[in-house]
Every structure is written in C-alpha cells, then in structure tokens.
Homo-oligomer: A and B are copies of this chain.
C-alpha cells in the first residue's frame, strides 16, 4: 500500500465527518493515484475515509480472481468504518482521488461520549446496509438490461442529475459491480443507445447523456 501524502495537518474537521466526530477530532488529507489500493481486505481498520474528489471502489475477491464490487464511493461519501478491527473488503482509487482521513479510534470514542455521534455512525451503517439490500435484489433477480438501467439511474441520482453523466469507472468496474461481464455491459449500453434512452457525449464512452430517465426507470421495477 503506497500512499502519496498531500498534506497532514492537525486541524478540526468540517462537513459530514465533523458532524460525526465533533470538533476535537483531527485528521489529514491524502491522495491516491488511479488504481492504487486504499486498504486491503483483512488489514487493520485504523482509519475512516471521506472522499473529497475522485472515486473509490470497495470489493471482495474470490481465490480465483472473481471480483464483486460492493459499492462506488463518490465525493462526500465515507467508507472504511468497521465495527471490528479489520477491513472486511478492499478499497482502491478508481481515478486520482483525494480523501480526508480520520483515526478510527477518535471517531469511536466520540461515538460513546456523544449521543449525536453515535446515531450518525449508525445512520451511516444503516444507509450502507440499505444500499446492500437493494443491490442483493439486483444481483439475485434482475436481468442484464435492468441492472445497467438501475446503475445509470443510481449514478445519475448520486451525482444530482447532471446534464452529462461522467462515469469515473471502466466497463470492467461496472461489470464487477453488476455481476456481469464487460461485453454484456457494453451491449446493454448499446441497446439503450439504440432505443434512444441515452446518448454518448464526446469521444470517450464514459460521458453519457440520459435522454429518458422514465424509460430507464421502467426497465427497473
């Protein structure tokens, strides 16, 4: 695990983490180059992370290399908080990513000393669980087209309905998130393009304009 340190200053948190941890918790900022590991499955869970810019994927591997991505973390999102002392999955930067890092210990201390902090941690874990429940339904019971449509709507919503949806992740990442292969994901994109549900913007195939959100929602159900 190689990190490049941008800044490591002792200063109060702000934003989401501050609400969680309170003023007396200090933190630092780190940056990860695209494709680098933030932490690995089984490692000590020493820190909690909040994304400032970029994107992170968290995933599990089978021994033969099959990969399942649990979730993508976008700016503002927190990840890496565990109840035990070790990480139950790995995390990697999808693109160049800046994060704010807090010591797990100081976070958990405020959790027991402050009611507000406790319920904030709980609501973070609960939201993550809710996402996992929806994702199990997707992985267990939805068709390829339904999965890709759901993925697009999820990203669209999390990026607050931008005109152009700029996906930070590759088709491989999307496939491993949706339990499909890259070819199937690619074909689903092409189908949705042909049905004029979406349009590619620019040269790269990662800039997408959603033309018919209601149509996409009908694939989901």
Return A49 CB to nearest CB of chain B, in Å: 17
A221 contacts the other chain (Cβ, under 8 Å)?
A: yes
* A140 and B83 contact, CB distance less than 8 A: no
**Is B137 in contact with A136, judged by CB distance below 8 angstroms?**
no
Contact-residue size bin, chain A (C-beta under 8 Å from the other chain):
35 or more
Interface pair B63/A141, CB less than 8 Å apart: no
Q: Which of B113, B122, B123, B179 is A139 in contact with, Cβ under 8 Å?
A: B179
**Known contacts A67-B141, A83-B126; A60 and B115 CB within 8 A of each other:** no
A112-B119, A115-B112, A125-B129 as given contacts; A136 in contact with B70, CB under 8 Å: yes
Most chain B CB within 10 A, of A62, A118, A129, is at: A129
Separation in Å of the A220 CB from the closest CB of chain B? Answer: 9
Q: How far is the CA of A45 from the CA of B66 in the complex (A)?
A: 38
Q: Is A103 an interface residue (CB 8 A)?
A: no
